[in-house]
Structure 1
Amino acid sequence: MAKTQPEPIRDPKSDHLLTPENCAVVLIDYQPEQYSTITSTTKEAINLNVIALCKLARAYDVPVIVSTVGVDMGVNTGTAEEIMAELPDVKEIDRSGVNSWEDEEFREAVKATGRKNIVMAGLWTEVCLTFPALDMQKEGYHVYPVADAVGGISHTAHNQAIERMRQAGATPVTAIQFGSELMRNWARESSQKFREVLQWYFPKQKELISQGKAD
């Protein structure tokens, strides 16, 4: 018997896997000043996967929060234009501290999503991503660091940060893994949203590989 129909959809809010209805995406400090000190990967590889996250979040109506540090203080500039171009309706939340969870406006924005599963990425892995991830895990959130959308000041710094978050209960994922988890079944009508992201993603990835700029 040919299988052309999707299996029944599990409760999208209580599902133990990520669904468009039970998670939010958080992006922290994708600013030029942060990119300039990363050596664990390339800016191009990071942006490929961050932009994939943005495209997936928009396609599946997943809430997105974007935060910056030091913009109001005049120390840093805002989020990279290519990222914000994917999120025309999202307002950046600026902070003075490196740990976004210590910023009240940021905390309230996360709480306002009503989601406990937080798919999170930030620069650097070892600071701006790790610190809020540890705090949020402590407060009952389940954080999913997006390992291929982040970078640290060294391979060691990045790798140890991922391990530290994992030991605290966080679950590392990748950008395309996230998309697959949202999509779940190729026979669903909504799977076309994921196909469109993949059709954009793989040519870009191939181009980066040819240039030696991919992981």
Structure 2
Amino acid sequence: MLTSVIAAREGSSIFPQITDVFPDQEVIDRTFINTREDSKVVDAVKATGRRQLIIAGLWTEICVAMPVIQALGEGWDVTVITDASGATSVEAHEVAIQRMIAAGADMMTWLALAAEWQRDRARLATAEKMTGVLTQHAAGSGVAHLWEQQLLKTLVPAAAG
């Protein structure tokens, strides 16, 4: 689920790098800082029938922490994607993460989440796309994956022992 804050205001729309990943997802425009106070967002979340929220966004100390802490208080299972969130400073980000952990939230990175969703490299419908994401966005992990694939394709001469 994607939300924006007063999208008509210049600089308030979501980056196309994010919306392009979810082309069929309608962006819910909101005015509330805490998305858990916006009935459009709350109703859309409830309509999914799910009980787990996975949240990332700007600003970690405000637009992420506020709904995370409220959702935890309402009994939701909440996971925050720490490296897909950002704050006004490193300290603000770290303190917000500490607050959310203290409130009961789980923390993950985007790569750990993607790997959990992929689970099995034999799931070919998504494995190729996952490889593309890894090589473009996972820094050393992407390079290591490419190297591993190259090694697996390298024939070893029978005389090598």
Q: Does structure 2 retain, via aligned residues, the 8 Å contact 1:149–1:175? A: yes
Specify which of 61, 65, 74 is matched with residue 126 of structure 1: 61
Which residue is equivalent to 1:26?
none
Cα deviation, residue 200, structure 1: 3.3
Q: Does structure 2 retain, via aligned residues, the 8 Å contact 1:183–1:190? A: no
Map 1:60-79; keep pairs closer than 5 Å: 65-72=1-8, 74=9, 77-79=12-14
- Gap change, CA 1:85 and 1:171, over 3 Å in 2: same
Q: Which runs of 5+ in 2 are unaligned?
A: 143-161
Structure with the bigger percentage of helix: 2
Task: Please give the TM-score of this superposition, normalised by the length of structure 2.
Answer: 0.78
Map 1:94-105; keep pairs closer than 5 Å: 94-105=29-40
Structure scoring higher RCO (CA < 8 A, sep ≥ 6) equals 1
Which residue is equivalent to 1:154?
89
Specify which of 200, 204, 209 is matched with residue 136 of structure 2: 200
- Gap change, CA 1:202 and 1:75, over 3 Å in 2: closer
Cα deviation, residue 76, structure 1: 5.0
Correspondence 1:135 to 2:67: no
Map 1:99-118; keep pairs closer than 5 Å: 99-118=34-53
Which residue is equivalent to 1:93?
28
Code of the aligned partner of 2:135: Q
Cα deviation, residue 118, structure 1: 1.2
Specify which of 181, 185, 191 is matched with residue 120 of structure 2: 185
Q: Does structure 2 retain, via aligned residues, the 8 Å contact 1:126–1:161? A: yes
Code of the aligned partner of 2:4: T
Correspondence 1:170 to 2:105: yes
Task: Please give the TM-score of this superposition, normalised by the length of structure 1.
Answer: 0.60
Please give the secondary structure, in 2, of the residue aligned with 1:131.
helix
Map 1:24-103; keep pairs closer than 5 Å: 65-72=1-8, 74=9, 77-103=12-38
Q: Which runs of 5+ in 1 are unaligned?
A: 1-64, 207-215
Code of the aligned partner of 2:116: E
Which residue is equivalent to 1:52?
none
Alpha-carbon distance between aligned partners in 2 of 1:119 and 1:66, rounded to the nearest angstrom: 12
- Gap change, CA 1:92 and 1:170, over 3 Å in 2: same
Alpha-carbon distance between aligned partners in 2 of 1:105 and 1:70, rounded to the nearest angstrom: 14
Instruction: State percent identity of aligned pairs.
Output: 35
- Gap change, CA 1:155 and 1:203, over 3 Å in 2: closer
Code of the aligned partner of 1:199: T
Cα deviation, residue 71, structure 1: 2.5
What is the root-mean-square deviation of aligned Cα atoms in Å? 2.3
